Structure 1
């Protein structure tokens, strides 16, 4: 099923397959002639497994891995220094990087109750940030 929605920037187009969004086309700026296209893929459990984003020669691929239906890792590859951030923002400064494409990973860990207790961000396999939670159960 195709669906077009008019916004202040023009039209956004969405394609669904059995209630799942599978393709999207939108424009970042009203004067922009080239749309951004996004293809969504799902795993056997119906969870989002991959987003492929394209605009001209710029791309961003976002892959999701799951453990017990919880996100365990998000892997991003892109050649875009800016833009294409709506699908998955990269939370590190890319301005000084000289080599593209880049790889950006976020790894998530959960406790035995399924609560998020830490996540780590990596840029080109180098650690960038680490966050942890300490939970007490009564």
Structure 2
């Protein structure tokens, strides 16, 4: 590793990065984090650059990037490939916007179902259950 100041055991590293030890090992298996050499029977040591890298991965995950997308971003981490990073971020933004639109449609359908529940009178079947059984109202309303 190129940290120069590796002094953290894997447990201390995980704690400093705000993750658990298994997360560190998982990131190593996925190639997102290098596994340091084990000096002559000693334990592996990690440094500040490793902590920064794990925090980068966690921040990217919170923004919705997949681990494969994060691997692509990590290849650009030297900061000289801004156009490529921008393209990846624009693609993720479009994905998020599509998901928000889908969630808006779902909200509209669920709002209608809840309102139908509250306004039903007498001995009629439960509107959400009936609608889900038919499937038609959900598809018709969701596709509008």
Shorter-chain TM-score category? under 0.3
Q: Which has the higher contact order (CA 8 A, sep 6+)?
A: 2
Structure with the higher fraction of residues in helix conformation: 2
TM-score under structure 2 normalisation? 0.23
Q: Which has the larger radius of gyration?
A: 2
